[in-house]
Each structure stands twice: as C-alpha cells, then as structure tokens.
Structure 1
Amino acid sequence: MASVLLGLTGVVILMLCAFALPSINSGPHHIPVGATGPKAATQALKEKLQGAEWDVTVYHDTAALTSAVKERQVVGGLALGADGIDIYTATAGAPIATNALTALGNAAAAQHQMSATVHDLVPYPEDDPRGAGFATAGLPLIFSGIFPAVILTRLFPGRAGMRTRVAGVTLFSLLAGAAVTETLQYGTGSLAGDYWLTALGLSLGMAALSMTFMGLEALMGFTGLGAGAAVMLLLGNPLSGLSTGPYWLPSGWSTLGQLLPPGASGSLLRANAFFDGADATGPALILAAWVALGLGLLLVADRRNRSARPGSAAAQPHIEAFPTSA
C-alpha cells in the first residue's frame, strides 16, 4: 500500500512539474522578427533587440517583410518610417509573441514620439478571434490516439489481428480528422484554409499517436501503452504550444514539444489552417516518422511473438546428433 501511495504522489508531482515549469519559465525565447526601413534605424533596432529574446532579420522593403510573415519565416516585423512605425503581425501563428511584438513597436513609437499602426496579416477567424477552439485541440487529439489503440487492441488481439488494427487506426484517423476539422471549421469557426488539407494533416497527427500507442502495447503490453500515454499527456500537451506558439516556451522545452506528436500536430494544423501550408513540411515529416516508429514496433513485436511460439524453429530445443557406426 505504501509503495502505491508513494507512486501516485510521484505521478501528481510529475504532472505539476510538467504543466507548471514551462509556464513559470515562459516568455520570449529567440522569437524571429523582421525589420525594414532606413539602414541606420534598422541596424540600431537589430543591435538593441538581438539576444536571448529576439532574433532580428532585416528586409530590404515592406513587401519582403510581409511575405516573410505570411510564409512563417518570422512571426511579425516592424517597418520603420520617418513619420511612424508599421507593425506587421500574424496572430494565428504565435498569438502571445504577436502581443509582445505589438507592445515593443508601440513602445518604440512612443519613445520617438511617432504613431504606430498594427497590420494583422494572418488573424484568427472572425468567429473565434482569440483562437480558443484551436488552443483546446490538444487533449482531444491525444485521446483520439489513445482510444482507438486501446479498443482495437482489445477487439483484435495478437498477430492475427495486427493487420486489422492497422487498417482500423488508418480508417479511424481519416474519419476523425475529417469530423474534427468540420467541427472546428464550420461548427465553431475556429479554422480557415483548405478543408481537405487541414483534415489530412489532423488525420496524420491522430495516426501518429495511435500507431505509436499500438506499437508500444504490442511490444510491452498495457504498461507500454500507459507509459506512452503519460508522456503525451504530461509532456506533449503542455509543450505543444497550441495556445501560445512554440516561441513562448524555453528553447529546450519548445524543441522537445515540437518533436512530440501533439506539438507537431499543432504546428501542422496551424500551417494548413491559416498559412496555406507554409512551413508544413517539417511537422509532417515528424508525424510520418512517428507513424513509421509505431509500425516498426508492431513488426518487432510480431517477430518476437513468432519466434517464441512453441512450433517455431527458434523455440525448438537443440538436439545434438550422434554419429552412427557403420
């Protein structure tokens, strides 16, 4: 009893740390922003901001800056002029970083007694201007990976059911991805962009989670599935950056979060739903790698089970042959 209670206490502490530490240490961490304007002004701005909080890239004109924002090369930028500062943002890409950049531009304009004008190039949809629906997609995405893995493993166990489980997860991911996208895009108005591209991206994220969970269960039983679910819930969800964007988390935490399926799924969803697929290749490849990992674990478990069967060659006892006399 004591060991069980201590174990449960440890899980509670782990959950607290997983959710609290990234929030406590959150803030601007190497946020990529752009600047354009007179050379002396942009160089002075770059020297002032360059450091642990901001990474400044200078563009030769406003068109290049706005193109970089729309292509997700930077989260926003400042166009410095003689009469004022134009602040270009993409709220749907990194909402909190956008707020920080806007505050920075307003402060710079006030310091030089100029006006500041904000241009939100990629806002959230009008029906959900704060991105609340998008930000809450993390946990449903994780559970949509856990449930089919558990149910299909129970219904179609063993080597005989492996192909059925893989086919079931694939079909479920496609159907669920389409349904969730339809709900968020047409029901709550939280998403924009091409419906089918967004749905396929969500389906890939669900498949990445489900395949991984099934592979872990096949290799290590429900202990493996439970461990995988704990990692995704305790690390993947709070580090996904769905509500803040990845640049508001500490660098190491942010990198880890984007390598896990919830973070990669969120980045792919953001790219497809708001940026016409810009910068979607990276997260898509990460999710594809998780799908491949899950399939690989299933194959390893299948080969291990085949070699352990009583009738298999590997399981047969070795009998030494004695020479026969002539």
Structure 2
Amino acid sequence: MSPAQSAPGGPGGGHAASAGPDEGPRPPSWRALITGLLMALVMATIMVTTYVSAQHAVVARDLPWGVTGSSPLTTNVQEHVSLKIHHYKDQAALEDAANRTEIYGGFVTQSNTVVIAEAASLVAPGQMPALYEKAAKAQGRHLAFKVTNKLPKEDPLGVVPGIAVFVLLVAGYLGSTLAMQRTGAAAARRRVLSLIGYAIIAGLVFDVIIGPILDAYPDVGTNFWPLWGEFTLMCLAVALFAAALQSLIGPIGTLLTVVIVVFFGNPSTGGVNGTAYLPAFWQYLGPVLPPWNGATLVRNTLYFDGNAITQQLIVLSIYAVVGAALVTISTYGHLLWWRGTKRRPPISPEEEGGIAAIPPA
C-alpha cells in the first residue's frame, strides 16, 4: 500500500472521502427570500397607507378659533371651514389664548380684526384671513389683521421642530437596535444607563448642530439649554421604548417600533400644517405617541414662550420610565415566562433589515 493510499490526509484519505455536497455555505432558500420580500412589502404598504391617509387632504377639522362676540362674518366663514369656536371677552384675552396654543387665531368683533398665530400652522395664516376678507367684501366691511407668534427668519416655514424630532426619533431606536445587535443580548445589564448616556450625548450633538452651528432656531443663547433637555428626553423615550419591545418580543420589536413611532407617529404630528388639518383618527392618535409630543414640545418652546408643554413632558417621561422598567425587569427574566428558559438574541443577520426601515422625513 502506498503512502498516498494509506495517509489519512492524502488524496485518497479520510478528508477526500468526507468531502461531499453538504460542505460549504448553503444558499438561502426560496422560502426565506420570499418571506423577507413579503415583510418589506408589508412595511412599505403600511407606510404608504399611513402617510397618504394622514396628509393627502389638507382640510381643517374643528380648527380651534377664538371670537369676542357673534358676527355674520364668522358665520359666513364657518360655511367654508370647520371651526371649533372659543369665546373670549376681548382682544387681549384672545391673543393670550393664541400664545397658550389654545387657538390658531380668532376674530375680534368690536374692531373687525383677524388675529392669526403664524407659528401654529402654515395653512391657517393664508386660509383664515382670505375667508374673512372675502366675507367682508361681500358685506362692504373693512378688516384689520394682526399676526402673533411670528416665525423667525431662522425658520420662516416652521419646519425645524419637525425635522429635529424626526431625526431624534430615528436616533433613539437605531441606538437601541445597533447596541443590542453588537452585544447580542436583548436586555443586558447596564442597558438603561448606556441608553441614558447615549441620549444625553445625542441630544447635545443635535442641539449644537441645529443651534450654534446652523443657526436654525432663534435666541440660541436662551433656547439652547431647554432644547438640550428636550432633545435628550425625546431620544431616550424612543430608545427605551424600542429596547423594551426588543427585550420582550425579540427582533420583531425593532420592526414594531418603526411601525408605531415612524409609520404611525410621524404622520400624526400634523407637520407644519398643524394637527387641526389632520383627519379625526390622526388627531386622536397623535397625543399618545412620542412624535407628536416631541414636535409640539419643541415648537411651543421656541415659538410660544414655552407655554403648554406639561402634557408633552409627562407623556415622553412615561415612555422613558415604563421602557426603563420593562428593560430592567426583563434583564432578570421576570417577564420571559412565555418564551421558555432559553432567551433568544434580539437581532439576527436575517432580520437586520428592520434597522434599514427608515423612511424619508
């Protein structure tokens, strides 16, 4: 017998004999490929449905509007736009209500003055004065106009709050997802502290870029510090919300976070048009989700003297506190009874596609 025939590693040895069609990486199955594509199609379908249904028809529904008395002009305007009338004793009270974001503007009957809060909506400042002016011309009256809560030259269209919040929301769930992908543990110890530190740094970085560097909001010296705290809270609320879902239900938690926060939450903010120009469903949904509360918090801080921000701070804090509690409890396995004794990692290579599910702002 020759060495070549007897040696285990020779051409005719054991290695050659053990080689077979099962060695090497296997190509992905058609089932896995189709499943992935179907998931992408479902996500895209949800996104197009939510965004288009919320924003395709910019029509006011119960637009908050103040008056200081009855007027045929207001009656005529109500025939063309849905208003929710609030009554005030005089123009000063009406303007104060606008500054507290109770109304988008109003009509002062005694002086035939249309008051409009410019920062409340991009649509109302054009629509409401035009409707009143048309009604006044038909009745031979002259109107006066007063604009309050004007948008600054740094943000003439009022888009900065929405853009900043959208980026912070994405930063929140991406931070949680990528951190867990790298560690391979759905609720590792120190997860909450790590995300708190991440949110603080992210909030500071975004605030420095938007304010001092790009000069995209007014009074940087005054607004920088409160915005840092608000940016941090928004990023942290979404990061801990995502971490909690990932801890409880695994990789699907990432996709569910995207659906809730981005696909449903972002359209419910109303954007620059204002919540009053959303369909009723979206008007009710927005206040319970982070995006609406974040956008309203930043807008009111910048353009409404910091009024009417208590509700937003409470809602975002609830997301952060409850998320932190769920992540902490899950770390010790108290909420994992339905998943058995073996915990599954939150992110697998096959399911990493959820990370890329970031729609345009």
Could you state the TM-score of these two structures normalised by the residue count of structure 1? 0.83
Distance 1:199 1:90, change over 3 A: farther
Q: What is the CA–CA distance in structure 2 between the aligned matches of 1:221 and 1:258, rounded to whole Å?
A: 27
Q: What is the CA–CA distance in structure 2 between the aligned matches of 1:4 and 1:161, rounded to whole Å?
A: 28
Q: Does 1:260 align with 2:286?
A: no
Q: Does 1:141 align with 2:168?
A: yes
Q: What is the CA–CA distance in structure 1 between the aligned matches of 2:184 and 2:35, rounded to whole Å?
A: 32
Q: What is the CA–CA distance in structure 1 between the aligned matches of 2:116 and 2:228, rounded to whole Å?
A: 26
Residue 7 of structure 1: CA displacement? Answer: 3.7
CA contact (8 A) 1:27 1:248 kept: yes
Residue 51 of structure 1: CA displacement? Answer: 10
The correspondence for 1:18, drawn from 37, 44, 50, is: 50
Residue 45 of structure 1: CA displacement? Answer: 2.9
Q: Does 1:205 align with 2:234?
A: yes
How many residue pairs match? The answer is 304
Q: What is the CA–CA distance in structure 2 between the aligned matches of 1:292 and 1:249, rounded to whole Å?
A: 30
Residue 159 of structure 1: CA displacement? Answer: 8.3
The correspondence for 1:117, drawn from 131, 134, 144, is: 144
Any unmatched runs of 5+ in structure 1? 311-326
Distance 1:10 1:186, change over 3 A: same
For 2:303, the equivalent position in structure 1 comes to 274
Distance 1:185 1:98, change over 3 A: farther
Q: What is the CA–CA distance in structure 1 between the aligned matches of 2:187 and 2:326, rounded to whole Å?
A: 16
For 1:184, the equivalent position in structure 2 comes to 210
Q: What is the CA–CA distance in structure 2 between the aligned matches of 1:189 and 1:98, rounded to whole Å?
A: 25
Distance 1:190 1:114, change over 3 A: farther
Matches within 5 A, 1:220-235: 220-235=249-264
Q: What is the CA–CA distance in structure 2 between the aligned matches of 1:235 and 1:217, rounded to whole Å?
A: 19
Q: What is the CA–CA distance in structure 2 between the aligned matches of 1:216 and 1:6, rounded to whole Å?
A: 22
More moved, 51-60 vs 293-302: 51-60
The correspondence for 2:193, drawn from 157, 167, 175, is: 167
The correspondence for 2:122, drawn from 69, 79, 95, is: 95
Offset from partner CA, 1:286-316 (integer Å, 9 cap, x none)? 1111112211321342232698769xxxxxx
Q: What is the CA–CA distance in structure 2 between the aligned matches of 1:99 and 1:106, rounded to whole Å?
A: 11
**Letter of the structure 1 residue corresponding to residue 263 of structure 2:** L
CA contact (8 A) 1:132 1:190 kept: no
Residue 280 of structure 1: CA displacement? Answer: 0.3
CA contact (8 A) 1:15 1:234 kept: yes
More moved, 242-251 vs 264-273: 242-251
For 2:106, the equivalent position in structure 1 comes to 77
Distance 1:51 1:294, change over 3 A: farther
Residue 74 of structure 1: CA displacement? Answer: 1.0
For 2:25, the equivalent position in structure 1 comes to none
Residue 214 of structure 1: CA displacement? Answer: 0.9
Residue 31 of structure 1: CA displacement? Answer: 1.1
Residue 22 of structure 1: CA displacement? Answer: 1.0
Any unmatched runs of 5+ in structure 2? 1-29, 343-361
CA contact (8 A) 2:192 2:327 kept: no
What RMSD in Å do the two structures reach over aligned CA positions?
2.7
Larger radius of gyration: 2
CA contact (8 A) 1:271 1:280 kept: yes
